[in-house]
Structures are given as C-alpha cells and as structure tokens.
C-alpha cells in the first residue's frame, strides 16, 4: 500500500464533515458516545492519540514542524491537509512512527478502520513500546466490536504506564461496550484518583453510569463537567442522554440544540423514548448492546 493513495481517501467536503463529527463526538446516541469516549475516548479522538506520538531522535526540525501542523489540522477537521503533511513525513522517513501513526489517525477520522489499523500496526512494529500506535489499534478494535482485543491492548499499554489517562479511558469504554459496566466504573473511578478532574475520564464515567442504568448519578457526574466553559461537546450529549432517559425531554432538547439541528434533536428525543420504554420492561437497561441497533444517527455520525 502506498501512502500517497491516502490523498484520494475521503477528501470531499462531505467526508471532511463526517471527520469533524467523528473527531468532536457530536452524536448523542448511546453507541456513538461509548465508541468515541474510547479514543478514546475521548475529548477529541484524533488529537489525543496525536498528542502522545513520540518524536524520534533523528527527526529533522522541518519534519517536527510538519508533524505539529498536521496534528493541528487533524484536530481542526482538515483531514486532507493532515493527510498530505503526514504523508510527506513518511515519504521522507518511511520509519517515522509519528508519521505512520498520523496517517492511521487520518484514516480513522474518515472511518476507514481497516486501513488505519495497517498503519498503526506498522508504527507499532517499529516501536513496540510506543503507546500512541497501540491506542490506535485498540480504538479500531472497539469500532470493529472486537472488545476483548481492545481490552487486551489497553492492558498492555497500562502495564508500562499504569496511570495513562487515555488508556484508562479507552479500557473503561471497551468494558462498557462489552456490557461490563461495573468493571468499567471501577477502572474509571480508580483512574480519576490518579488523574483528578480529568474531563475525559469524568465523561466516560458519567456515560458508564447511564449505560449501567443509573442515569441520575451519571447526570450528576456529567453536570460537574459541563459547568466549565471548555467542556467537551460529548459531555453535553451524554448529559442530554441522561436527562432523556430520566424523562426530562425539555432539558435534553435544550442541551441537544446547542450542537445539533432541530431534526436531529427530535430524532434523539424519540430514541430516548424508545430506550425508556425498553428500560421499563423486566430486565431492561440502557446498555450499549441493547441500544446500538436503535440509535437513529449512529451509523451516519459515528461509524462512517
């Protein structure tokens, strides 16, 4: 596979808009939120993995500058520019771990998870102890619903860096998606002791509580995050979900309207109604597996 092929990958305006939705986690449905917090989870998915990329000792000043610009472009949703710059870095140094990881991130942003995994694995083979490629591999595994693989990979990262907040957030998300909400919450609560106030971990914990059936406590956790001006968008979306499952449609609609068009707000309110009805049945819950098939905007906003 030639890296220049990435220049032709999902670079239309519509594709870039999808990438922004993936990176900023604006989808308020249960599965989307759970997937995106993994990158994990994420407050953005692309930026967080990019921030952890190691810079090799033989990187030239120009390559380091290009890497920083590429990471900023990807964080801003400009996948085409990011791809071009990461590709330039890799063309100059085919063994550039940050460059290969960055190309994986651009493919991840547009939903090409299979090819993203190829670049993450190539980077990981060059630097087996580098966390960023491994976290990318785990994020792809979550999107492909290979939860055990993701959990194993996150444990491998944590064996070397036990308090890594991204790996802990991703592990919590993977456990949630597998249905182990109690396990996820234990991981996230312990992670917050080591990383107090971390918004990503708090958002994941709030969502985990909602998915586990305790929407009221989840709402309280998410309220603590959303009261800050710089709160990540997914914190608001998860709070809207919590309110929706509690039956407070008016509060949920008000929150959703800050990030979504009116039609999407109504779609999500109907989704919340479906989930409340499901939870009212014997043995019902808002768990990710049960909600995934009913999410009205999940495929468009999260998986493509």
212 confidence band (pLDDT: 50, 70, 90): very high
18 confidence band (pLDDT: 50, 70, 90): very low
Query: Exposure of 261 by Cβ count < 10 A (0-12 exposed, 13-18 middle, 19+ buried)?
Result: exposed
| pLDDT tens-digit map of 270-296 | 999 999 888 877 766 555 444 433 333
Q: CA 269 to CA 256: how far, in whole Å?
A: 9
State residue 231's pLDDT score.
Answer: 84
State residue 286's pLDDT score.
Answer: 59
What's the chain's average pLDDT? 79
Q: Is the pLDDT of residue 37 over 80?
A: no
- CATH number at 243 reads 1.25.40.10
Domain count, the chain: 1
Domain enclosing residue 249, as ranges: 3-303
State residue 228's pLDDT score.
Answer: 86
Q: CA 69 to CA 64: how far, in whole Å?
A: 9
23 near 77, Cβ under 8 Å? yes
| pLDDT tens-digit map of 219-237 | 999 999 999 888 888 999 9
Quote the pTM value: 0.74
Residue range 184-192: mean pLDDT, rounded: 97
**Residue 225 vs residues 116, 174, 278: alpha-carbon distances, Å:** 31, 21, 28
| pLDDT tens-digit map of 60-104 | 556 788 899 999 999 889 999 999 999 999 999 999 999 999 999
Of 39, 84, 78, nearest to 302 by C-alpha is 39
């Amino acid at each position: 596979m030639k890296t220049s092929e990435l220049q032709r990958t999902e670079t239309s305006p519509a594709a870039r808009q999808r990438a922004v939705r993936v990176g900023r986690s604006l989808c308020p449905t249960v599965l989307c939120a759970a997937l995106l917090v993994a990158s994990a989870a994420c407050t953005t998915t692309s930026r967080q993995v990019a921030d952890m990329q190691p810079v090799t000792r033989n990187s030239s000043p120009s390559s380091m500058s290009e890497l920083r610009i590429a990471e900023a472009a990807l964080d801003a949703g400009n996948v085409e520019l990011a791809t071009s710059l990461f590709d330039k870095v890799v063309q100059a140094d085919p063994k550039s771990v940050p460059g290969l990881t960055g190309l994986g991130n651009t493919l991840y942003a547009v939903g090409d998870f299979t090819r993203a995994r190829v670049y993450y694995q190539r980077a990981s083979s060059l630097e087996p102890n580098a966390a960023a490629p491994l976290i990318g591999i785990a994020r792809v595994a979550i999107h492909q619903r290979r939860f055990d693989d993701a959990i194993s990979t996150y444990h491998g990262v944590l064996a070397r860096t036990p308090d890594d907040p991204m790996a802990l957030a991703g592990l919590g998300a993977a456990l949630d998606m597998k249905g182990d909400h109690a396990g996820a919450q234990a991981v996230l609560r312990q992670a917050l002791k080591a990383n107090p106030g971390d918004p990503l971990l708090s958002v994941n914990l709030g969502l985990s509580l909602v998915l586990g059936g305790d929407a009221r406590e989840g709402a309280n956790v998410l309220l603590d995050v959303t009261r800050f001006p710089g709160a990540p968008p997914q914190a608001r979306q998860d709070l809207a979900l919590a309110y929706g499952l509690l039956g407070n449609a008016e509060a949920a609609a008000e929150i959703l309207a800050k990030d979504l068009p009116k039609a999407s707000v109504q779609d999500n309110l109907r989704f919340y109604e479906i989930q409340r009805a499901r939870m009212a049945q014997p043995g019902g819950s808002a768990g990710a597996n049960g909600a995934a098939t009913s999410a009205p905007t999940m495929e468009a906003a999260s998986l493509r």
